[in-house]
């Protein structure tokens, strides 16, 4: 009766699920197939500590001159990103590197995105929403359809050299500090007040 109807509905739903649950593969851009044609350097040195919102550094990128001419024919834009070093990716699945660049979470902050030229540089003030972590800088060359076609980075393949640190803002403003204390005290006082009233009522 009710049980049979329930199982019929369940089967129908399961069939619907099978139709809906599909994985749609798309043309994946793989990192290990990207040519490293850009030379990227930054004014930060290994072990430098930068404060979010205050400190700046300059990043410079240039096409590797030893490449045959025309290698950058399809480069239309350059996108420079701040990327997590392995030590900051440890035990943090949301920062994991993935060869499939669609799923890659290594580089989450854009430093600059501009039209491509064979050389370029940009002075960047570390944004206030950059978290405390260790970083390196990577630049991607994008073609007209915004697909990554080449890259360069300030560190080596193992991401161990030229790693610098950013100290993010804490977010604890004085206003928040005072408010938390005041509201907490108010809660305690309210409780005490009502207990006193209760005791008085008892008598």
Which C-beta is closer to another protein: that of 161 or that of 189?
189
Report the candidate in 161, 178, 159, 170 with the shortest Cα–Cα distance to residue 83. Answer: 159
Look up tokens 């005791």; give the residue.
199
Burial of 6 (0-12, 13-18, 19+ CB in 10 A): exposed
Instruction: Walk across the sheet containing 38-42 and list its strands.
Output: 38-42, 56-63, 119-125
* Nearest distance, CB of residue 170 and another protein, angstroms: 5
Q: Which stretch binds another protein (CB under 8 A): 33-41, 42-50, 146-154, 189-197?
A: 189-197
Under the binding rule (CB under 8 A), the answer on residue 176 touching another protein is: yes
Report the candidate in 167, 169, 135, 166 with the shortest Cα–Cα distance to residue 153. Answer: 135
Among 33, 69, 188, 200, binds another protein (CB under 8 A): 188
Among 23, 27, 73, 157, binds another protein (CB under 8 A): 23
* Nearest distance, CB of residue 5 and another protein, angstroms: 13
Strands (DSSP E) along 12-65, which ranges? 38-42, 49-51, 56-63
Report the candidate in 19, 6, 146 with the shortest Cα–Cα distance to residue 76. Answer: 146
Site for another protein in 85-114 (CB under 8 A): 88, 90-94
Q: Which stretch binds another protein (CB under 8 A): 27-35, 42-50, 148-156, 170-178?
A: 170-178
Q: Which residues bind another protein (CB under 8 A)?
A: 3, 10, 13-14, 16-17, 20-24, 88, 90-94, 128-129, 131-133, 168-173, 176-177, 179-180, 183-184, 186-188, 190-191, 194, 198, 201-202
């Amino acid at each position: 009766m009710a049980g049979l109807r329930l199982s019929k509905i369940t089967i129908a739903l399961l069939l619907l699920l099978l139709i809906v649950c599909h994985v749609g593969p798309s043309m994946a851009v793989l990192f290990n197939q990207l040519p490293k044609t850009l030379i990227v350097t930054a004014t930060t040195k290994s072990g430098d500590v930068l404060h979010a919102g205050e400190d700046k550094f300059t990043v410079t990128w240039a096409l590797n001159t030893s490449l045959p001419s025309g290698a950058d024919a399809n480069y239309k834009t350059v996108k420079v990103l701040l990327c997590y070093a392995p030590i900051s990716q440890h035990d943090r699945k949301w920062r994991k590197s993935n060869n499939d660049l669609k799923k890659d979470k290594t580089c989450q902050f854009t430093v600059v995105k501009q039209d491509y030229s064979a050389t370029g540089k940009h002075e960047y003030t570390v944004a206030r929403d950059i978290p405390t972590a260790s970083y390196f800088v990577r630049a991607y060359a994008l073609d007209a359809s915004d697909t990554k076609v080449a890259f360069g980075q300030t560190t080596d393949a193992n991401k161990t050299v030229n790693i610098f640190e950013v100290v993010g803002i804490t977010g604890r403003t004085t206003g928040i500090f005072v408010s938390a204390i005041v509201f907490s005290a108010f809660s305690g006082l309210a409780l005490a007040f009502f207990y006193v009233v209760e005791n008085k009522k008892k008598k």
